[in-house]
Amino acid sequence: MDFLELVKARYSCRKLTDAAIEPEKIERIIQSAIAAPTAKNLQRYKIWQIQSPEAFDKLKQTTNFTFGSALAFVIGAQKDGAFDRPFDNKNFAEIDAAIVATHMMLAIQAEGLGTTWVGYFDAPKMQQLFPEMKDYELIAVFPVGYPAEGAKPASRHAERRAAAEAVTKL
């Protein structure tokens, strides 16, 4: 599949199975994230792989959006030490973490798996339950699994702005 086909095929899959995912697929997803570019290559992000039943139970206390999966990734940004643009002091940690997360989301699709970018979670509670997350801005949760029977894109998935509306040529 070429890249454009991949990005158009990806959708927010909200119906997943809890079937085991092959370790080599998980490793390729992680390697795709690690390959993501970050400002000045400072890599001020962290990925937590939520897979043990105990960790998954904690995750479920922070969000209802796990969609039947038994694997999830949480992505966080560490502002301290990240690139600050000198003209306006814009910190790039969350931007960098979003790039990492996007790489992961597309890698998940490329592996024949499903996910959705979950932003609806209780970050303070997650940081309480997972103390190792306390120094990070938590930006995304990705429940990961094989799409379950009947999984399909949302009705508005194919609605996209026209290029002429989205792009201004200068």
Q: What is the pLDDT of residue 72?
A: 98
Confidence (pTM):
0.95
- Max intra-chain CA distance, the chain: 53
Q: What is the pLDDT of residue 65?
A: 97
Amino acid, single-letter form, for residue 124: P
| Segments making up each domain of the chain, as ranges | 16-149
Structure tokens at 111: 């592996």
Q: What is the pLDDT of residue 120?
A: 98
| Residue 158 neighbours by CB under 8 Å, 6+ apart | none
Distance CA 48, CA 127 (A): 12
Q: What is the pLDDT of residue 34?
A: 98
Q: What is the pLDDT of residue 118?
A: 98
Task: Quickly tell me which residue has 């479920």 as its tokens.
Answer: 60
Residue 16 · residue 68 · CB < 8 Å:
yes
Tens of pLDDT along the chain (170 residues) come to 699 999 999 999 999 999 999 999 999 999 999 999 999 999 999 999 999 999 999 999 999 999 999 999 999 999 999 999 999 999 999 999 999 999 999 999 999 999 999 999 999 999 999 999 999 999 999 999 999 999 999 999 989 999 999 999 99
Ranges of H-type helices in the chain: 3-9, 23-34, 53-60, 93-110, 123-129, 163-166
Distance CA 141, CA 120 (A): 9
Radius of gyration of the chain (CA): 17
Distance CA 113, CA 104 (A): 11
Could you give the C-alpha distances from 165 to 4, 110, 156, 168, in angstroms and in order?
A: 20, 29, 18, 8
Tell the CATH superfamily of the 16-149 domain.
NADH Oxidase (3.40.109.10)
Structure tokens at 128: 């309480």
Distance CA 78, CA 95 (A): 11
Q: What is the pLDDT of residue 122?
A: 98
The SS3 assignment for 112 reads coil
